[in-house]
Amino acid sequence: MAKEGTLLMKYTYLGRTGLKVSRLCLGTMNFGNVTEEKEAFRIMDAALDAGINFFDTANVYGWQPKGLTEEIVGRWFAQGGGRREKVVLATKVYGDMDPIDGPNNMGGLSSYKIRRHLNASLRRLQTDHVELYQMHHIDRNVTWDELWEAFETHVRAGNVGYIGSSNFAGWHLVKAQAAAKERNFLGLVSEQHLYNLLQRLPELEVLPAAKDLGLGVIPWSPLAGGLLGSNALKAKEGSRSIRQQEKVAKHRPQLEEFAALCQELGEREDIVALAWLLTNESVTAPITGPRTLEQFESSLRVVELELTPDVLTRLDEIFPGPGGAAPEAYAW
């Protein structure tokens, strides 16, 4: 429950499940990599105080070493105070963790790997279960019979509550659910996907498929790697990577129009970009990835911002989508 004087968090159901999650999801990818542990603890405490109960991580986060982010989250849980009980925890499996463990622990999704990597994640997170276990990418070398057999085992054992996907194409979602239905299994409940004002291709196939199947969409990189943030046009050239400079140059006209619109509204660019995502009925919760407590606290404004139809029309003009869902987007 949010503290008195803070914004009132909003909640929704995760896909077609009865599990309620906050409309903002706290992304932890920067913890241990950019954000030191003490600051990460402050951010997670502030998230709970603000009413955010949905936390997302992955076994590969931390990078040096991989798994460090899960360890930080686990040490935060270990402080007690109901921290674990208040969090809907999501983590992921797919990437390689330690090549020393052999070829079966490299990138992919086998039953062997899922079992080993889930157990390792639970140890790092200092918990006996995760609410949402997500496939970080599609593995075309594994059958759905093998995947669903593996995941069903962990759901029945109580180690996992629900299964989600990430970076799946629309037809992958359909195949996954068809196979799950044959087994009388719930299957996927969510798809975590790259979706933002600068990347609207998911509107063609992924979002319509998710909506039809009753899956919640969890957008990652909602600010397009910072391009939709308030400092995208202000940063000095020398402070950006070459790749970031190229992206800014490519999208500068759009970003300048976007900045002008946000100035008219009296809102920061990142807040408007997040609010735009929340207007889509397919979206459950965009993932925010704060590096500091200040960044986190400044993002909370989004839960009370409502964009008018006129503003949405102007955003469509600045950042044109693919024209709607397929096939009408490109055919009669």
**From the candidates 11, 13, 61, 133, which is the catalytic residue?**
61
Q: Is the distance from CB of 193 to CB of 219 less than 8 angstroms?
A: yes
The SS3 call for residue 160 is strand
Q: Name 222's Cβ contacts closer than 8 Å, sequence gap at least 6.
A: 195, 196, 228, 273, 274, 277, 286, 287, 288
| Residue closest to 313 by CA, chosen among 250, 261, 259, 269 | 261
Distance CA 283, CA 271 (A): 16
Q: Is the distance from CB of 185 to CB of 159 less than 8 angstroms?
A: no
Has 61 been annotated as catalytic? yes
What is the rounded end-to-end Cα distance, in angstroms, of the chain? 49
Q: What does the radius of gyration of the chain's CA atoms come to, in whole angstroms?
A: 20
Using CB atoms within 10 Å of the CB of residue 301, give its burial: 0 to 12 exposed, 13 to 18 middle, 19+ buried: middle
Distance CA 222, CA 198 (A): 9
Phi then psi for residue 302, to 5 deg, are -60, -30
Q: Is the distance from CB of 217 to CB of 210 less than 8 angstroms?
A: yes
Distance CA 166, CA 138 (A): 8
Distance CA 197, CA 266 (A): 19
Locus of tokens 């659910």 = 177
Distance CA 126, CA 47 (A): 19
Active site residues: 61
